[in-house]
Every structure is written in C-alpha cells, then in structure tokens.
Amino acid sequence: MPKQATGLVLITLSLLNVFVTSAGLAVAKLTPERRLAPSPPSAAERVAVRTAVTRPPAGSGAPLPAAQALSRRIAPILTGSGTRIGAVVTDAATRRVLFAADADRPATPASTTKLVTSVAALDTLGPTHRITTRTVRGAGGGVVLVGGGDPTLTARPPRPSGQGDPGAGRPVHASLADLARRTAAALKAEGVRKVRVDHDVSAYQGPRTARGWKPNYLPDGEVAPVSALTIDEGRVAPGDPTESKRVADPPAAATKAFARMLTREGVQAEPGRAVTAPAGAAELGAVRSPTAAELVEHLMTRSDNDVAEAMARQVAIKLGRPGSFDEAARAVTEVLARLGVTGGVLVNDGSGLSTANRITPAALAVLVSVAASPERPHLRAAITGMPVAGFSGTLNAPRYTVPASRAGAGLVRAKTGTLAGVSTLAGIAHDADGRTLAFAFMAGDGTGPVDPGTLDRLAAAVASCGC
C-alpha cells in the first residue's frame, strides 16, 4: 500500500477511536447511577446504537447556541410536519428561551404529565421516602391489612435481598409474603391461631378513576382502579408480559392473597371486609416500598401509570390533604408554584392518561430545568429516570436508529407522552458544544394522526447543534 494511503488509514482509525471513546463517555454521563437504577436497561445490551457526534463535557460553561442558527434547524421540521406542534428550547442553566413556537399554548401532555408528578413528589416527599404497608390488631382480635398506597407491593415469591428484577429496571419491591410471615409470628407469639383479615384503604378517598380517563383504560389494562391497597399493580398475571388484564377490586384481591399466606404460615385466616383500623391499634408487621427516587426513576423510564398515580396521591397526603384525584391535582399544583412554575399546568391525574389535562411546552421546559438544577439535587431522579434516546425505556430502539434522528442517540434524555392523536416529548440534550438545553415538543390535539418520529428529529436537531 502506498505511504500516502497508509497514512490516511492510520488517521481514519485514530479518528474512529476518538469517536467511539467520546460517544461512550456521552452515554455514560446520561446513564443513571447504579444506586438509583438497580438494574441497567436491558435494551442497551440487545441493541447496538451508535451516537453520531462527539461531545465535550457538558456544563454551563459551554457557549450558548445562537437562537437564529437553532431556529434554522428546527423551523423546517415544524413546517414540514403537517401537524401543529408546540415547541420550546431553553438553556437549562439560565432558562433563556432559544426557540419558541406556540410555547404558551396549552396542549394535551399525555405521559409527560409524569414529569409534573415526579418533580412534585420528590420535592414534597424527598428522595428517600418510602410507602408503608402494615398490619394492626382489629376490633374483636382480628387483623387489619392497612394500605399505604404502594402499588408495587408484590405477592410474587421474594427475590434474594438486593436483587432487582433482571431486565426490567425495577427495584426490589415490598413483599406481601414477608408481611404475612411477620404478622403470623406476632400472632403466634400471642397464642392466636385463627383470625379474620379486614382491610383499610382509607388513605385514599374518592373515585378510583379520573376525569378524562377513557372507558377502555381499565379493561385494556392501561392502569388498575386506583386504591391504597394493591398488589402487583392489580395485575391478574404479574410477571407475564403478554397479559395486561387487571383485577376489578384490588383491595379485595390483596386481602385474599394475604389471608392465604397467613394460613400457610400457620395462622388460619379468612378475608373479611373494608374497615377503618382502630386509632392507636398495635402494629403486627410492616413492609416498605422502594424509595421515592427509585419509584420515580421507574415510572419515568417505563411510563408506569400505576406508580405515577400513587406518587401524586402521596403528595396530597404529605400536605395533609385527602388522597383523592382532585386533591392530588391541587397539591401538585401547589408544589409547582413553590418551585416557580406558577402557570401552564392543569392536571386531573398523575399519569397523564386524562385527556382533560393541559400543559404548555413552556411549563414543561421550566420543570426540566428545575429538575436538572444542581441547586436541587433531591430532584435528580426526575432527570435520571428519563429514557435515553435509542437505549432505554420508551425511547428504546427503534427510536433514534433512523438517519433523521440518529444524531440524538445517547445524547437526548426525555419523557415521552402518547395518547390517540397526541405525541409529546420533554427533556434535556447536550448540544455539540456541551451546553445542556431543555426542550419540550407537543404534537396533536387527539383528532388526527401524529408521528413521534418528528419529535425525535426535533430533539436530534437540538442535540446536534454546534451553532
């Protein structure tokens, strides 16, 4: 091979080596720390996705992109989409608006509502908060199973301590079997061998479905009827990804399962009825959920509707309000106002299933900046829980694997939202100069088709901007 050709080959290989190393660092920076993500996203192990550009270290010291240059990248995508899209891009550190189109127009947020819920929950509860499910002595010597609002409480066989659910990115859940063992031990120590198990779901009030929920949500298994006492998110066949059906009465199902477990532990038990536990009743046993940070990371990555509804109710309860849809919405709005988001948010649930929710792109972008702020480390899980483009959660491949959006792979981190005729995306991107930008794109009004790929192209345009 001629010397000139040999030199070109060596230069090319050197550049490729720099590219691979830099891209790997970019993805590593966006990947949640192990302490907040007990299992790494399995998608990254199965699908090879290459980032398209190298990145300097992210930070506020990098130059701001020129607004006009950014507009030249984004505007053609918007005008060519055939759909009205509300859009905003801001500097995450200063909140300076770099691009806006219908940014103050309220739109149906779908699951980007979960960003609202997550930020409010982390700010109110703190990242180490856990939800407790317990048993107490009831009237007449019985047992009352008291729900605290943990939908991840599981009746599945316990996993070894410290082990998450492989491939699912889930933390270790509280175990109903553990609660049964502790309760049985306490009862047998008192000489009790036969009991009736009642249940207390008074932590939550009001209807089990929200305003704006479609009639098909429960039958299709999009979410379970919201209750303070639920096991395995009310799933009929937990662990079977092909079965989405939910039980009609989560508290009754949980109580029956608990009674069976107590019987296996040597205390004959039969399920009873709904009651309110006596004030000051002696506790027999308790189990606690994963931390609020772990639950938020999970609900953001997997867009888990049940956990989102639980976290919204926990905000209301923490603020001394009833645990209902209406009061959760009021409580979340109150917390956002305290954080500086004083308008642009109207919610009826915590998950975003409600078609009556309305949020502006501008409000979502502010929330992203608030959560990403180094001055508020307790909100970090709302960012680390966002799926990584092309790698995890609801942004897993095939998204960000096509040429039009591949520039955003590994460099965009965002919460998705999808309802019939609605597609939304809100999150962060590190541009080509290393500046952290916040964005929100909201397409569709529920009446016609929308293409999530258009939003991916917009986010990729932001990430690839070195302007």
Is-catalytic flag, 29?
A: no
d(CA 317, CA 314): 5
| Closest alpha carbon to 418 in 399, 436, 404, 431 | 399
> Under a CB-based contact definition with an 8 Å cutoff, are residues 419 and 110 in contact?
yes
Q: What is the DSSP string of 82-98?
A: SS-EEEEEEETTT--EE
CA 112 distance to own-chain centroid: 9
Out of 118, 227, 303, 324, the active site residue is 303
Residue entry with tokens 């407790």: 132
H helices of 194-291, where? 250-264
Query: Strands, E, within 185-252: which ranges?
Result: 194-200
Pairing of strands 345-346, 283-288: unpaired
d(CA 164, CA 181): 21
Out of 71, 114, 415, 423, the active site residue is 114
In the sheet with 132-137, reading across from the earlier edge strand, the strands are: 268-274, 194-200, 143-146, 132-137, 283-288
If one counts every other C-beta atom within 10 angstroms of the C-beta of residue 289, the result is 25
d(CA 303, CA 416): 8
d(CA 70, CA 97): 11
Out of 111, 175, 324, 351, the active site residue is 111
Is-catalytic flag, 114?
A: yes
d(CA 313, CA 331): 9
Is-catalytic flag, 464?
A: no
Q: What is the DSSP letter of 81?
A: S
As annotated, the active-site residues are: 111, 114, 303
